[in-house]
Each structure stands twice: as structure tokens, then as C-alpha cells.
Amino acid sequence: MSATSYTIVNLPDQRTATLPKRSYLNNEDGLLSWLFTGDHKRIAILYLISITFFFFIGGAFAGLIRLELLTPQPDLVASDTYNKFFSMHGIIMIFLFLVPSVPATLGNFLIPIMIGAKDLAFPKVNLLSWYLYWIGGLFTLAALVLGGVDTGWTFTTPLSTHYLNTHVVTAATGVFIIGFSSIFTGLNFIVTIHRMRAPGMTWFRMPLFCWSNYAASVLMVLGTPVLAITLVLVALERLVGIGVFDPTKGGDPLLFQHLFWFYSHPAVYIMILPGMGVISEVISTFSRKRVFGYTAVAFSSVAIALFGFFVWAHHMFIMGVSNYSALVFSLLTMLVAVPSAIKIFNWAFTLQKGSITFETPMLYAFGFLGLFTIGGMTGVFLGALGMDIHLTETYFIVAHFHFVMVGGMLMAFLAGIHFWWPKMTGRMYPESLSKLAAVTTFIGFNLTFLPQFILGYLGMPRRYHAYPPEFQVLNVLSTAGATVLGVGYMLPLLYLAWSLKYGAIAGNNPWQATGLEWQIQSPPLTENFIETPIVDHEAYDYEWLAHKTAQEVTTVG
């Protein structure tokens, strides 16, 4: 590795390198050894396959939506069908993809290793989480196959309770069960991080990835049960007919909104915080520097989790909440935006005085920084009360949350997958193809969603099957972008699968990163560590790494 090379990748000599003889992948054979495993790494891989499957189903719905919106007329499918498209797209993408994406795959795989433990605290509960994910997923697929649900992912009452005869209860049951999958994952992470850190691994020596997942786990544990009980009430109102949300019987439809958003706002932080953890790891590694302001970044994760519980009614500013409660929630929304800004600047300053290379994970991380900044700032637009009146329920909202969720979270997820792929599989993916995919995704994303901001300010409402013709040009641009974006997402599926058989052997630490996961073999042993590590260095300690590398004896042959 010379000082003038453009990459820090350090692979073993490919002529002689092989995968380790024993790893978690070949430790035991047979389908049942996978389906009844307690190994957090195997469960992570099971999750990875599962969420990829659902991602492409959700993505297919997105494609159909954009296809319909090429023309102003409702001419591709019937309105009911279109309504099912966006409902299924939302339900699948949020509950079956985004919420479990980083925690259940990367978090499951890495958190025990990062803190020096052999597994999560409750391996069986971890496996249960995966089964609950699938049972909930099957209910959702059942709702889809039986005819679909068209409530929107928000299940708004009284539409969902009294005015639709689609498979609302089936879909709600699915989401309910998936919620418990999420709760158990979060519970597992919290206990693991509290109780199973290796000797010397203090809270402030943990990688920031652990901090982010910890904060997200607190949100999962405290917020998701409220969604669960809300869905129970919706199901009961549909099945039994009591009027808990029905104004003609004395109920209050706004009660549903409060209960629903009490979870669904923290849910967005559940989705983004683990992604932010990935960005910390990636930017540090590819700048060869500790993260600037470690403590600030760690505490900002906790602050987002805390404040995130107190802003839910900013989804309800125009719904008849009192002006004074609107004031309180708007103010708190402004406060919750600040920790995210702090993180962006800390990451940017991590680059200063670093030694930067631009491998694929870093490209995705840069994409995250730009797109999340836009998405986050447009959140401030929406948090401003008077501005929200004009912007809410339009495509501005759609653009905003796709910027933070897709431009932010999904890019972070892809950054993480590419970053830890060599660790999980022992193989490297082809770099030029992956860079192409990253750039394609970035371009496609911007082309898809930037026009939607303009459409939103023009007033085009969301969830519209047909629209006035003057909005067509922007919609066509958006659909064109979606096509490019789709290509960008297909590519990793192809080359990552290819790399499993034909990729270069990665070795322990192809990125020369700090972190305990990079000091063990790739793929890791089932028990992760042969001996419990004793940690005597800070997180992102590149001097420790250099010292350790210099002391390692290179093997012969």
C-alpha cells in the first residue's frame, strides 16, 4: 500500500488466500441449522435475505405508482387499485424494510462483536424476532394476495374503521406482529449493550454505531407498544363496532391520530438513527481519523431519541389541535432538528486533516450527507407552523420523507452493507461496478424526488391517482428518475450475489479499520472471539491500529 495509491484497501495475496476453514457460515450444515440457530450472525443473514425480498416487493409498488403518474389521467389502473399500491408500498417499506434494515441485519451481526461479546443477551429471543418478522410479513402478504389494503400506511380512522371493506384487519395484524419483532430486537440490544461489554469496553469507548442503535432501541421498546394497542383498537372497532374513534357514538377520531403518531414519529428516528451510526463508522474509516466530537455525536443520538418522543403532533398541525398545543409541538420540533445538524457538522469535520479515500461505502456516505441535509432542512420547513399549512399533505411531504428515508437511511444502509460485506462473507465485491451503482443511485434519486418539492409547493396533493395536467412535466421527470433509481438498486443485488462465489478474498481487515470486528477473521467464528478481548484503547484509535499492525507477524505462504 503506497502513499500515492487511491485506496486503502488491503487484501491478502489472492494467489494464496483462502476463506478461513471454520466460520459461522460452515460451522453447521443444513437448513435446520439455519432455521433454529441462536447465532446472531446467522440471524442477521436470515434478516438480510428477508428484508431484501420485501424491499423489492415494495419497490415494485413504487414503480407501479410512478408508472401511473406519468399521465395526469387515472388510466393505468382503477383508483382502488392505485390506492392499494401506495398503501402496500408504505406498509412494506416502513415496517418490513426500513425499521429492521440496519438494526436487524448490521446491528444483529455487529453489536456483539463491536463490544467484545460472544452473542446478544437473548439469542432465542433474537430468533423469535425473526420468526415474528416473517409471521407478520406473511399476514401482510396475505392481505396483499387477498386483494390488498387501501387505508394508506397510516390507517386513518374513520376511513379504516367504517368506510373500507378491504383487508384492514389482516394488514393491521401483520403490522402488530412485526411490531413485536421490533420490540424484541430493541430489548435484546439494550440488555446486551448494558450488560455484555468486554472488560475495558466502557460506554465511551464503544463505536458510535452502538450508541446509535442503543438510542434507536430505546425508541423501539417504548414507542412500538403504543402502535400495537392502537392497531388493536382499530381492529376492535372494525370487528365489534364500538365507537372509540367514531364521533356519532361519542368517540374521537383525533384520539386515533394522537395514539398513532405517538409511535409513528419516534418510528422515523428508529429508522434513521442506526443509519447515522453506519455513517460514523464509514467516515471515520475512510478518513483514517476518529470521529470529530465523539461525545457530541453520542449524546446527540440520545437527544434525538429523547426529543423524538415529544413532537408527534407536528403531523397534526392542521387537524384541529388547539393553537397553543401547535406552538409547543412546533417549538419542540425545532429543538429536535438541532442534534441532527450537530452530527452533520461533526462528520464533515472528521474529514479535516484526515487521509481520505473514496471507496464505495464512502461514496454512499457522502450521498447521505448531502441528501440528509436537504431532507432534514425541509423538515424545518414543515415544522414551521404557517408554512406547514401550505405544505402539509402535498408532495412536499412525500419528497421530504423520501429524502431522509431513501436519500438518508437507504444510502446509509447500502454504505453499511458494502462496508461490512467483506466481514460478513469474507469476499470483496467489484469496486468499479459498486461505484457505478452508487453514482447511479444518487443521480436517480435526485431526479426522482427534487421535482416533488416543486410539485408540493405548487399544491399537488399526495396520494392522488390523477392530477391537473400542468403538473405533468414534473411527474414525468420524477418517473424518469425512478427508473434510474431502480437500476441503481438492482446492481448491488447482482454484483453482491456474484461476489459470494467469485469475489476476491477479503482477509481480516480489508479497510484497515479500527473496531473489534476488524480484528477477527472474515467471516467470523461462531463464537466471534477465541479469547474474550480486553479493551485498552479508545474507539477509532488509529495509532493503536498502526501499532498492532506493525507488531503482527506476516504469515509465510
What is the closest distance, in whole angstroms, from the C-beta atom of residue 443 to another protein in the complex?
16
Buried/exposed code over 252-263 (b: 16+ C-beta within 10 A; e: otherwise): ebbebbbbbbbb
Q: Which of 244, 297, 270, 104 is nearest to 188 (CA)?
A: 104
3-state secondary structure of 552: coil
Q: How far apart are CA 38 and CA 28, in angstroms?
A: 12
In the complex with another protein, the residue whose CB is nearer, 395 or 495, is: 395
Element (H, E) at 112: helix 108-115
| Tally of CB atoms within 10 A around 146 | 12
In the complex with another protein, the residue whose CB is nearer, 255 or 436, is: 255
CB 415 within 8 A of CB 368: yes
What is the closest distance, in whole angstroms, from the C-beta atom of residue 210 to another protein in the complex?
16
What is the closest distance, in whole angstroms, from the C-beta atom of residue 339 to another protein in the complex?
9
Q: How far apart are CA 194 and CA 197, in angstroms?
A: 7
Burial group, residue 490, by CB count within 10 angstroms (0-12, 13-18, 19+): middle
In the complex with another protein, the residue whose CB is nearer, 145 or 199, is: 199
Question: The cell 415544522 sits on which residue?
Answer: 383
In the complex with another protein, the residue whose CB is nearer, 260 or 489, is: 260
Q: What angle do CA 342, 343, 349 make, to 5 degrees?
A: 90
Q: How far apart are CA 490 and CA 60, in angstroms?
A: 12
In the complex with another protein, the residue whose CB is nearer, 67 or 384, is: 384
What is the closest distance, in whole angstroms, from the C-beta atom of residue 383 to another protein in the complex?
7
In the complex with another protein, the residue whose CB is nearer, 224 or 440, is: 224
Contacts of 251 (CB under 8 A, 6+ apart): 243, 244, 245
In the complex with another protein, the residue whose CB is nearer, 22 or 249, is: 249
What is the closest distance, in whole angstroms, from the C-beta atom of residue 56 to another protein in the complex?
25
What is the closest distance, in whole angstroms, from the C-beta atom of residue 500 to another protein in the complex?
27
What is the closest distance, in whole angstroms, from the C-beta atom of residue 157 to another protein in the complex?
8
CA atoms within 13 A on the CB side of 333: 25
